[in-house]
Structure 1
Amino acid sequence: MRKGLLLTAASVALVGSLTACGGASSSSADGSGSDSGGKKPKIGVILPDSKSSARWETADRKYLSEAFKAAGVDYDIQNAQGDKQQFQTIADQMITNGVNVLVIVNLDSGTGKAVLDKAKAQGVATIDYDRLTLGGSAQYYVSFDNSAVGELQGQGLSKCLSDMKATKPVIATLNGSPTDNNAALFAKGYNGVLDPKYKSGEYVKGPDQSVPDWDNAQAGTMFEQMLTSQPKIAGVLAANDGLGNAAIAVLRKQNRNGQVPVTGQDATVQGLQNILAGDQCMTVYKAVKKEADATAELAVSLAKGQKGQTNATVHDPEGNRDVPSVLETPVAVFKDNVKDVVADGFVSKDELCTGTYAALCAQAGIK
């Protein structure tokens, strides 16, 4: 059984029409009551930062804004920029300013729980977006199957090492932030793939460290130290594209870029360019638009006193509860299917295929 979040099948609760409820009070998913009071729904969203991954500002803000506009609701999206005190201040302001629903991407479970509990006490419905707040009180959780993300990373690294015919490669690991529950799930996924290879002697387990706050600069320093202690590192399991790029920058200084497979996640422009250049082995594409659309649908339902549609439940071991959830499916991206990420509209050809990358895009069939 998986330690941490446990995905189980769940009955799908069909949503009714998203038309207004005429001001009548209606119970929310956990019975706490979210009453629109006849006023236009207003939804608050707190994003975590813009340093750990470019996705929060380039993708999530964009898609959430588009979904809320299409639904015709008022909304306020703010970014805490990695500051826990600012995160709580933003939440207080949003609650004071009358949001019906608060959507958060927590910086850590402790801060997230405090914010969610305060919102619940004020009658504000809540959704955990992308990261589950352990011990929290969010009525819904929307994300991806994060253990599956890690499995794709482990399988991807194995594929690239096999393609290079690596023999007993030493693997270095740059895990995500120790305060991010998703990072633990990613690690569970890729360690589940790699640990048997370590035990059999097929691979050699090298340095393994977690990067506080997903800080890319710290990741670069850590990886330099890893290479100093173990110069024969032949593969890098990096938990996202930012950490991967930090490792690639160090490898580039030693003219070893392209010789050491590096993983990633988030299908950022930088990550995809690194893949096209042959410096990064793979990334994981998470269709953020689907995640944002599902969140907006749930938020609008809650703001109007209705229940939302889900496709799973996720177990919170600290809160000992099953959280109604929407989980999307991640996709592994290698050089031969970078074009699919462009075709899906997640990144544009213009931003990806600039300068020296134009010829590489053409070679990869990106039109």
Structure 2
Amino acid sequence: MRKLAAVAFGAAAVLALGACAGEGAGGGGVEGGETLAPEDVLVGVSMPTQTSERWIADGEAVEAGLEELGYDVDLQFANDDIPTQSQQIDQMITNGADVLIIAAIDGTALGSQLDAAAAAGIPVISYDRLIRDNENVDFYVTFDNYDVGVQQATSLLQGLGILDADRNETGEEGPFNIELFAGSPDDNNATFFWNGAMETLQPYLDSGVLTVPSGQTDFEQAAILRWQQETAQRRMEDLLTSTYSDGTELHGVLSPYDGLSRGIITALQGAGMGPSLADGLPVVTGQDAEIASVKLIVDGVQFATIFKDTRLLAEQAVIATEAYVNGGEPEANDTETYDNGIKVVPSYLLESVIVVADNVEPALVETGYWTQEEIEAGQAD
């Protein structure tokens, strides 16, 4: 509940949203554009899994923000099972949800649910992961996912010494051997992360400053289904056996998520590549500032993560919901980037931050995301 206190929505902001609400929204608007009393509003919140602390925090933060506005909330976690998520959303629609907030497991697997929501006049907010191939996605709240990929690659280049802390080139010519990991192919964000990272790394690959000894440079080769830590560990172990057993040195690994990073690090340490960066462990990147990985960063094991303040993401989802409840439409700050295959979905994008050992305190402790005690323990209270 410590994080939830940060998701506080001022009465002035809520009143302002209500005052500027227009006619209709989403698939016809909530209750045909009529404003509902808070106690009459039911919001269905569908999160992909409880196996990641990130999604638990997201779900609880969204729930807390909605309940603070007086809404009833049906929060469900689908345990990374597509049929379960489909059934949960079906039930939310049956139970009379007025708005749906959905972080999809598979962004292409919810067509019938979206069609049913539209038929019932229920606006759909796609949360962090873009729902694809359907016109009935009304709004998208997320981070600038392409830039997240740029930041992941930038942190790798910084860890290798090719760039300094200000992103200036140092003159290091390498060559540095790296391996590449990508996220789940059914998560639209994974391709944005990959594209941002690869376009940042490509000039160094072209010049020979970076090399990928395995030759596995395609998204399909690097992708880890469902973002599973164990799958990433096995792939890293296989790469070490197939490519590095002859003594070839590995200098860095592009990892797009902290859970994958921990699996990769386990494989590297198991192969005797040093317990820490100071002992020769390759530079490993990450994302989400999960507490276990933040401790590894402080301890000099994982080099970096990308901090996406999901409290702000939850806040935007609640603000968007409030706009729909009041018969209006949420304010977008991007109406060009996120094409889901059928339409460009109006979006609200948030910024992210590279976190390394030197800025853990200002980025994570001073902002109240984690306490110093939690970081030292490597787990949340």
Asked if TM exceeds 0.5, the reply is: yes
| 2:47 is the alignment partner of 1:56 | no
Partner deviation per Cα, 1:74-116 (whole Å, 9 max, x = no partner): 1111101111110011001111111100110111122133322
Do residues 214 (structure 1) and 213 (structure 2) align? no
Contact map agreement 1:240 1:264 (CA 8 A) in 2: yes
Q: 2:242 is matched with which residue?
A: 229
Deviation readout 1:57-80 (Å, 9 max, x if unpaired): 1x2023212211221211111101
Spell out the pairing of 1:79-94 with structure 2 (5 A cutoff). Answer: 79-94=77-92
Task: Give aligned-pair identity as a percent.
Answer: 32
Of 24, 30, 46, 1:34 maps to 30
* Residues 1:304 and 2:304 are matched in the alignment: no
Instruction: Tell me, yes or no, if the aligned pair for 2:131 and 2:340 is still in contact at 8 Å.
Output: no
Instruction: Give the conservation status (yes or no) of the 8 Å contact 1:313–1:323.
Output: yes
Residue aligning to 1:10: none
Measured in 2, the distance between the counterparts of 1:206 and 1:116 equals 44
CA shift digits 1:190-226 (9 cap, x unpaired):
1011111111111102444210111111111111001
Q: Say yes or no: does 1:161 pair with 2:160.
A: yes
Aligned CA distance change for structure 1 residues 317 and 250 (closer, same or farther; 3 Å) = same
CA positional deviation for 1:319: 3.1
Tell me which residue corresponds to 2:3: none
Looking at structure 2, the residues matched to 69 and 219 of structure 1 have their Cα atoms a distance apart, in angstroms, of 37
In structure 1, what is the equivalent of residue 5 of structure 2? none
Q: Distance in 1 between matches of 2:131 and 2:314?
A: 18
| d(CA) in 2 for partners of 1:92, 1:309 | 27
Alignment of 1:111-122 (within 5 A): 111-122=109-120
> Aligned partner of 1:154: which letter?
A
* TM alignment of 1:235-314, pairs within 5 A: 235-256=252-273, 257=275, 258=277, 259-314=281-336
Deviation at 1:318, TM superposition (A): 4.8
Map 1:133-152 → 2, pairs under 5 A: 133-136=131-134, 137-152=136-151
User: How far apart in 2 are the matches of 1:75 and 1:254?
Assistant: 47
Shift of residue 315, structure 1, vs aligned partner:
4.0
Q: How many angstroms does 1:271 deviate by?
A: 1.3
* Equivalent residue letter for 2:143: F
Once structures 1 and 2 are overlaid, which stretch shifts more, 217-226 or 118-127? Answer: 118-127
Task: Report the aligned-residue RMSD.
Answer: 2.4
Q: 226-235 or 124-133: which moved more? A: 226-235
Structure 1 unaligned regions, length at least 5: 1-13, 358-367
**Quick one: structure 1 residues 78 and 163, their matched pair in 2 at CA, closer, same or farther if it must change by over 3 Å?**
same
Of the three residues 343, 352, 366, the one matched with 2:375 is 352
1:221 & 1:98 partners in 2: Cα distance? Answer: 44
State the number of aligned residues.
Answer: 338
* 98-107 or 35-44, larger mean C-alpha shift: 35-44
- Per the alignment, residue 202 of structure 1 pairs with 209
What is the TM-score with the length of structure 2 in the denominator?
0.83
Structure 2: segments with no counterpart, 5+ residues = 1-12, 164-171, 217-221
Quote how far apart the aligned CAs of 1:177 are.
0.5
Q: How does 1:175-186 map to 2 (within 5 A)?
A: 175-186=182-193
Q: Tell me if the contact between 1:61 and 1:77 (Cα under 8 Å) persists in the aligned partners.
A: yes
Change (3 A) 1:25 1:150: closer
Q: Helix, strand or coil for the counterpart of 1:267?
A: coil
TM-score using structure 1 length: 0.86
Counterpart of 2:85, as a letter, is F
Q: Does structure 2 retain, via aligned residues, the 8 Å contact 1:15–1:307? A: no
